[in-house]
Structure 1
């Protein structure tokens, strides 16, 4: 019995290694979150594109919105995590400290949720993809897999869904609108923005001026 358990663990580890290395070169065929969106909304609107096809505006917008230290941290923004913990201890609105790298690990390899077990796996995968994939690939995988609406995944699908154009053709304002729906894409709609979403859009526009992709 114990021998079979060890064999199963070994097989799982090997499959994980293969999938991680494979992800260095290819986008995931499908993710657990995408399956969830398909089951919930009856559609999977997704169109994987290369980093060059994304254009710089949407990259800057998402980095400005989600993780301004993306290119300088090692996968974990410890100051952001500390701020989030202090905010939560004070009973304020729950804030996350997740980086783009952590969100990519969660979106590609795991499922949505807040359990310590899932967070532990997220930390493991984050560490690995930072070492094996690097920043540019992590950002490309993130922008292709992130949920951007009800059954809409990735910035190309979001660009087509909200603005009827390719991601690389988005204006600065349009890119900021797409980024503004994060991290609650099911709740917000750039074409029918709330007062909060409008304020966030304007904030992202200002922050984009300080974002460098080099």
Structure 2
């Protein structure tokens, strides 16, 4: 793989190329990942508003299968799911228990770039992320042996959606938190509360529901 240092933005400090290579190597062999997380969304334009909090979990299998589910503690009937079986993807939203879920099915990689980016960040797929971002790594102050990876959009299309992404990794170089900053002032913070790597995942996890 080409040196990851080549992807660092000239407008940002160069970071530590060797550290970035170590982080990439730690994730390169990952074939499956399952994780639970909490997502908190805030907006700089409305600092007094309470964060919007969701819980979620996802499963992914290389190269392109995923299943991501979001729920709300204060709205137990609401549920949103994003799933891809490698050929097709779907977005399913349940608003109320007495209403049918809405289901949108499309070709894989059609309209789901934001979900794919989040999963790529969570599993440390930097070669994939480098298609859209300049990437640099820095040692983290806490924990002493951890690291921080900063992603800055490398093209105007992605810059319309994101200003930057900050990924914090623990001493084991596994992802602990993601922070996505959008041009609108919205900040999405994702904290990984549990993660399992390279365990078998049932194929039906990625099944696409059929539309009526």
TM over 0.5: no
**Higher helix residue share:** 1
TM range (shorter): 0.3 to 0.5
Q: Say which structure is richer in strand.
A: 2
